[in-house]
C-alpha cells in the first residue's frame, strides 16, 4: 500500500491533536493513559508530539474516551484554523459551477 505524503494541513491538524491530548492528559502518566486506551506509550508519545499526524479513528476514539473528551470537541479543536481560514461556513455545502 502506498501512503501519500502528508499535506501541510495534515501536519498542522496532527500538531493540534497532539496538543489537545497532552492538555487533556494533564498530570496523568503517559503510560497509564496509553494502557487504558490500548496503545503503547511510544504510540501515544508520537501522537502527542505530532510524529503520527493522522492516527486511525479508533485510536483517536479510544484516547478521547480515556481522557473524557467528546469526539465533537476533538474535531472542533483540530479543524478550528481551517474553518477560520475558509470563506463562508466550513460545514456549508459548496456549489460547483
Model pLDDT, residue 83:
64
Cell of 88: 463562508
| Confidence category of residue 95, pLDDT binned at 50, 70, 90 | very low
pTM of the model: 0.80
Helices (H), the chain: 8-25, 30-37, 41-48, 57-67, 71-78, 80-85
Half-sphere exposure for 43 (CA within 13 Å, toward CB):
16
Taking the C-alpha atoms of residue 35 and residue 73, their distance in angstroms, rounded to an integer, is 22
Model pLDDT, residue 24:
97
Q: In order of start, what are the domains of the chain with their CATH numbers?
A: 8-83 (1.10.260.40)
User: What does the pLDDT look like over 32-50, one tens digit per residue?
Assistant: 999 999 999 999 999 999 9
Residue 86 to residues 50, 68, 92, 93, 94: CA-CA distances in angstroms? Answer: 23, 29, 11, 12, 11
Taking the C-alpha atoms of residue 16 and residue 21, their distance in angstroms, rounded to an integer, is 9
User: What does the pLDDT look like over 55-87, one tens digit per residue?
Assistant: 999 999 999 999 999 999 999 999 887 766 655
| Confidence category of residue 23, pLDDT binned at 50, 70, 90 | very high
Amino acid at each position: 500500500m502506498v501512503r501519500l505524503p502528508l499535506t501541510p494541513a495534515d501536519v498542522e491538524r496532527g500538531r493540534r491533536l497532539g496538543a489537545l491530548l497532552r492538555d487533556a492528559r494533564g498530570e496523568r502518566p503517559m503510560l497509564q493513559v496509553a494502557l487504558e486506551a490500548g496503545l503503547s506509550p511510544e504510540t501515544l508519545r508520537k501522537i502527542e508530539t505530532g510524529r503520527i499526524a493522522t492516527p486511525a479513528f479508533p485510536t483517536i476514539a479510544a484516547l478521547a474516551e480515556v481522557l473524557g473528551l467528546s469526539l465533537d470537541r476533538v474535531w472542533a479543536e483540530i479543524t478550528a484554523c481551517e474553518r477560520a481560514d475558509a470563506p463562508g461556513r466550513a460545514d456549508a455545502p459548496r456549489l460547483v459551477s
